[in-house]
Amino acid sequence: MPAAVFTHPRIASVGATEQGCRDRGVDYPVGTAGQVLAEPGTGRILGAHLMGARASVLIQPLVLAATLGIDAVTLAKSPYWIHPAPTEVVENALLDRPPARTVKGNLRLRAPSAREDDQGAGV
C-alpha cells in the first residue's frame, strides 16, 4: 500500500522495506535519499522509498509498476519520462540499479530540494 508523509522533506513509499528484504534473504540495491528495491533476476519492483520536495508525486510510477508487476528496466525504458523534468530522478534510479542478478550495489536517488522544486529544476 502506498503512503506519503507531508513533512519537510516529504516522504513516500510503496511495498517492501530494506528490513523486509533482509528478513526474506533478498539482495537489493541501497540508496541514500531514496531507493528502489528490485528482485534479483527479474527486476520486479519490491518496494520504493523516496524523500524530497516532490516525493509524493515521484512515487506514482513506482506504485503503478509495483502493483502491475512491471520490472524496473521496462518501466525505465517506457515512454513515460519527459526531459528535463523531476521524474527523471526515478528513471535514473531505475536504470542505475545493478544488473538483474543477486548482488548488492549502490543506488543514488535525489529528489529535488524545495528550492529547486519551486524553480522547476531539480534533476
**Which residues are designated catalytic?**
83
Q: Strands 34-38 and 10-15: what pairing?
A: unpaired
| Strand extents, DSSP E, the chain | 3-5, 10-15, 34-38, 45-52
DSSP state of 39: -
Query: How far apart, in Å, do the first and last CA atoms of the chain sit?
Result: 27
CA distances (Å), origin 96, targets 51, 72, 115, 120: 18, 10, 25, 23
